[in-house]
Each structure stands twice: as structure tokens, then as C-alpha cells.
Amino acid sequence: MHVLVIGAAGMVGRKLVARIVAEGGIGGRKVDTLSLVDVVAPQMPAGFGGRAWAADLSAPGEAARMLAGRPDIVFHLAAIVSGEAEADFDKGYRINLDGTRLLFEAIRAEGMKQPYAPRVVFTSSIAVFGAPFPDAIGDEFFTTPLTSYGTQKAIGELLLADYSRRGIFDGVGIRLPTICIRPGAPNKAASGFFSSILREPLVGQPAVLPVPDTVMHWHASPRAAVGFLLHAATLDTAPLGARRNLTMPGLAATVAEQIEALRRVAGEKAVALIRREPDETIGRIVAGWPRRFDAKRAESLGFTAETTFDEIIRVHVEDELGGKVA
Amino acid sequence: MHVLVIGAAGMVGRKLVARIVAEGGIGGRKVDTLSLVDVVAPQMPAGFGGRAWAADLSAPGEAARMLAGRPDIVFHLAAIVSGEAEADFDKGYRINLDGTRLLFEAIRAEGMKQPYAPRVVFTSSIAVFGAPFPDAIGDEFFTTPLTSYGTQKAIGELLLADYSRRGIFDGVGIRLPTICIRPGAPNKAASGFFSSILREPLVGQPAVLPVPDTVMHWHASPRAAVGFLLHAATLDTAPLGARRNLTMPGLAATVAEQIEALRRVAGEKAVALIRREPDETIGRIVAGWPRRFDAKRAESLGFTAETTFDEIIRVHVEDELGGKVA
């Protein structure tokens, strides 16, 4: 199989490629060719045909070039993230909306030359939802995003469903929970603390908690996210019908529950590294976020995530820290 | 006030303009200038400043020209209808998606010159919903359209909400029920029979009923539709928050109930003009359509529609037949 990954240099993209390389394929089907694209050139793994290159999905002709090899599976992970899409209106719409549409149109153009309808896996986000929410957000709850990023993802979902309905491709949109623990350096995202209050203490570094212990949010590990992508790439789409976009399973946990899990995995000395420093701005932003979902549909289709925060922490310790806690 | 109507030559557009002319304003505020646009030049009423002209909203520079006079209220009614948007993929997306976005961007560009944030009233449709449905579709039900038209309207709704959230304009999206009784000649729309089984017998002409009596659908009169538009143009949008798109109230009625109302208004001889000629294709299409809504939110905001089918028929008799039944 030939697999195209757009956004292959990002955190999830790199882990996805690493997993495909490690397993030699997806869902038991051998992958021999990889096309890897991002705004910076992704690393090309040895032993595969294809290539890795830098490209802006929204630039003329780029989407067509990505599709020229007629990949069997297209992972579309490329996006301007929430904060940047909010700060730069034009850039967010250009990449997240126009880029997505150009990609879908390039697939359609390929199919007009000769029949072609690849599997397309599109990463959406729980940012398609906006408060106020019910206690648990069900699969039929409406999408009223409170950011331009969430708006662009919700539009991508609608396009994905319409192009799939018309048989232009065979699409699955997956709404990722907040990824926790995000590896790497702390970033300025308002959601950053959900990861940093665990990630930094696990390596003996201090971390700041800007919200009360009672804040609840919806999480899944990077490993679970890669699992969602691979499952979406191979599942039977017939049961989806026209409803191609799925809220992924995850784990609803309060900050207090996150900290208790840290205590169990890494002990009291790790917990002691968390400094409480309330930040009203972050508190207000987080208050508008979803807390909990009832992701029945995705679960019934075989998508799985962690069920305890201990597990989420252990995944990080295994995948990022070589199994060792400081 | 200066009012721009895009789609002013269509059935609803013409009735909207006629009502503004008859009342001299909207919601008690005087209208002195009208800008009327459609793909064919609308008629310009006497006694108003402004002009009427033909333009394609999706053509370069046209949206900017429509906005140049900085109208206080923008009615965006222009659309490629359902059947055509399904048959012509590119045209549907060009007019219904790109056209809408170009309009919204032209408003943003005006606002960058100097502060400007008009009221924008966007006609969406119950086609944003797709089966399977609950018995009554609530205000928080998700939008999973089964046509490209419905997809384009759902995207327009998302854009409207995001541009409004950012203060670029002050938007209200209204999801119209099926308009019944549609005046004019029978057309080839799958929904056409809902109107023709009443409209033709009311003038002594035969009509064909292609579905069983038990089919239920969601209706409002053209007069009610104009009422929705005018109310949306003047209501206080503060209570809407970020949720700018509203399912309009309407009347859920079975075909049998429609026919009983016809019998009460126009007698047995009118009913006798309806010929039952089952059409499986139409039956299948209609089976995927919404039957009934629970439009609580719009009702609480003061939108009103007919509550009996007798009333819907009487509106037609008054507005189209000079009060006379054949």
C-alpha cells in the first residue's frame, strides 16, 4: 500500500509514521510506499519507497502533487492550531479550510482521470463543540464552535461527509480528545498545563497548575491517538452511512484525579513539584471546554482509549522516558 | 436605513421587498435605500433610493460592489437550490459556499476601512439535517446533511457564527421549513407536490400526489418566511450568544391533514382533483426528510408561523388568489 501523511512532521504525525514503520503496515496490510509532507520536510524512514518533502497544502498545485502517486490511504493531519488560527484569521482559514478543500478537490480531480477513491482519515477535534454543554456530550450533539479553529474543523467534517457520500473518497473524521501527556517542551497553549503538571514532575522538574483541582477535561494518550488513526484507516465504513465524523473515546478526569494518578505512579515527591498559581484567563478559557463525552458510536466501531489516568501516565513513561520515572 | 437583498428576484426575495415597500421600513425603522441583486435584475420599486442590478455573487469584485454602500441590513437569500446543487457539484459549491464566503469577506473588508458591522440575515434550510431523526428534532440536534445543498448551508451557518463571534458582522441564520403553498407553476422539485396538491385544486386544476397520505413534513407559508426574515433583521441578538443559527417554527402536518384542510377551505370538489399516483423515487427521497421539529429557541425569541394548515391555505388564497377560491 501507498500511504500519504500530510502533517507528518507534527507530534502525532511522527508517531503515526513510526508505528507504520515498526509494524511494516496498517491492519495487517503491508505498506511499501510512504509520501510524507509537512511545512518542514519530515524525516524519511529507511526501507520504504516514496519520499518526504516540505509543502504548503494551500499553495497552488501542491495538493495535486501530493495525490499524483494515488495513495491508498490519505492521513490529513495538517492544521494551524487553535491559538494561531484565532490570532491569524486569514492563515487559519487558508490552511484549515482552503487547504482541506484543495486536498479533497485534488482527490476528486484524480478520480476524474480514472476511478480513484482512497480512504481519507481527517483529524478533527473536540473544538467543534462549544459551551454550554450537557454533562456528557452525546454523538448527536450539535457543533457550535467557539473558535475559528473549531469552525474550520467542523467545516472540514461537513466537506468530508459530502465528498464521501458522493463516492469521491471514503472518509472518516475523528475528533481527537486533548492529547495527554504531550511530549516535548511546555508550550503556551491554554491546555498545556494538563500535560505539564505530569510531564515535568515525572522528570523531576517543577510545573505550574493554573486552575482548580475540580476542572474536568477529556483526554487520550498520543499512543491512543495513533491507534485511532490506524483504526480509522482500515475499518469497514459501511456502518458509518453518511455520518462520517466520530467523537473518539477518551477519559474524563479532573485535575485532582490526574494528580492522584501521578502520586500512584511517581510518588509524593513528584506531586510536590506542582505549584498552584491560579490564572483567571486560563480558568475562563478552560471553563468553555468540553468536560466529558459519551462516545458510544466510536466505541461500538472498535475505537479504544485509556480507561485510567495511571495508564495514560504509564504510556508516557514507556514511550518517552524509556520506562523510567525520575 | 439601507437594506441589501441578495436573491431579490426569487420568490421569497420578491415578497420580502414587497413587504418592506408596503410597510416603508422594517420593525418600525424607515427604509429609504434598497440595493437589490440577483442573477437576473430584480424590479426596483418606486420611491426608494438605491438600485437593482444583476450580478453573480461568486464573480470577482461583485460582493465588494454590493457592500460598497455599507447597507445596515444584508439579507443573503441567494442560493443554487437543492436539486441543481446536487446535479452540478461545482456550481453548488461556487455559489452556495464560495459566494457566501465572498460576501462575508467583503463585509470584513469594509470593516477594515472603517468600523462596520451590519446585521446579516442568512437563509439556511432544514436540509442541514439528515435522517435518521428523532420524532421531533430539537435545537441541539447535529447537522448531518444528505445533500451538497444541505452541506453548503451548514457550512454557511458555521461561517456566519464565526464571523459574528468575531464581531465582523451581526448574523442570524434561519432554517426555513418547506415553503407551502409555493406560488407559481409546478416545478420538478421532489417537494413540489406538497404545494401542488393544494395550489392546483384551489384554481380548479388537477394535481398528482406521489406519496402516501401518512407522509409528514414541516411547513410554513411564504408570508411566514418573510416574517422570519424581518424578525431576524431586527431582533436583539444578545440572547443568541455564539449560537446564531435557528430552526424556524413551522407546522408538522401529514398529507392527509393537508387534504382535510383543503376540504374545509375549498370543499369536496377541490379534493377530488387530487390524483394518487405513487412514485417510489419521490417516496424514497421524502422518507429521508425531517418530519417535525421542536423549535423552542426560535419561538422563545419571537419567531412565529402558522399553527393550522387551514391558515396556510388561507394565506395563499389571500396573497395569491385575491381572496377567491375556484
- CATH code, domain carrying B270: 3.90.25.10
Query: Does the pTM exceed 0.90?
Result: yes
Is A39 part of any domain? yes
Radius of gyration of chain B (CA): 20
| DSSP-assigned letters across all residues of B73-91 | EEEE-----HHHHHH-HHH
Residues A12/A222, Cβ–Cβ less than 8 Å: yes
* pLDDT tens-place string over residues A243-281: 999 999 999 999 999 999 999 999 999 999 999 999 998
B276 and B129 share one domain: no
Give the closest of A141, A151, A165 to B162, CB-based.
A151
Is B325 part of any domain? no
| DSSP-assigned letters across all residues of B181-215 | SPPSS--S-TTHHHHHHHHHHHTT--EEE-S-TT-
B261 and B286 share one domain: yes
Residue given cell 488560527 in the structure block: A85
B14 and B139 share one domain: yes
B225 and B81 share one domain: yes
B128 and B152 share one domain: yes
Is A229 part of any domain? yes
Cell of A99: 487547504
Chain A closest-CA separation from residue B119 CA (Å): 20
B145 and B73 share one domain: yes
Tens place of pLDDT per residue across chain B (326 aa): 999 999 999 999 999 999 999 999 999 999 999 999 999 999 999 999 999 999 999 999 999 999 999 999 999 999 998 889 999 999 999 999 999 999 999 999 999 999 999 999 999 999 999 999 999 999 999 999 999 999 999 999 999 999 999 999 999 999 999 999 999 987 777 889 999 999 999 999 999 999 999 999 999 999 999 999 999 999 999 999 999 999 999 999 999 999 999 999 999 999 999 999 999 988 988 888 899 999 999 999 999 999 999 999 999 999 999 999 87
Is A107 part of any domain? yes
Residue B275 structural domain: 192-218+250-291+306-320
| Single-letter amino acid, residue A206 | P
SS3 (DSSP) at B281: helix
B162 and B206 share one domain: no
Chain B closest-CA separation from residue A23 CA (Å): 35
Is B164 part of any domain? yes
Residues A258/A213, Cβ–Cβ less than 8 Å: no
Is B278 part of any domain? yes
Q: Which residues of B touch A129 (CB under 8 A)?
A: none
B159 and B60 share one domain: yes
Check pLDDT > 80 for residue A313.
Answer: yes
* Neighbouring-strand partners of residue A125: A176
Number of A/B CB contacts below 8 angstroms equals 55
What's the whole-number average pLDDT of chain A?
96
B99 and B230 share one domain: yes
Is B167 part of any domain? yes
Q: How many domains are contained in chain A?
A: 1
Interhelix angle A148-165/B148-165, nearest 10 degrees: 180
CATH of the domain at A109: 3.40.50.720
B236 and B264 share one domain: no
Interhelix angle A309-320/A222-234, nearest 10 degrees: 90
Phi and psi, residue A247, nearest 5°: -75, 125
Is B301 part of any domain? no
Kindly give, in sequence order, each residue whose CB lies less than 8 Å from that of residue B2, ignoring residues fewer than 6 positions away. B31, B32, B33, B34, B35, B50, B69, B70, B71, B72, B73
B198 and B148 share one domain: no
B258 closest CA partner among B219, B207, B205: B219
List residues of B with catalytic annotation.
149
| Single-letter amino acid, residue B77 | L
Does the annotation count A93 as an active-site position?
Answer: no
B60 and B129 share one domain: yes
A53 closest CA partner among A4, A98, A96, A122: A4
Q: For residue A264, give the H/E element and its range.
A: helix A255-266
Residue of chain A minimizing CA distance to B90: A105
| CB-count burial class (<10 Å; 0-12, 13-18, 19+) for A12 | buried
CA–CA separation, B93 and B151 (whole Å):
9
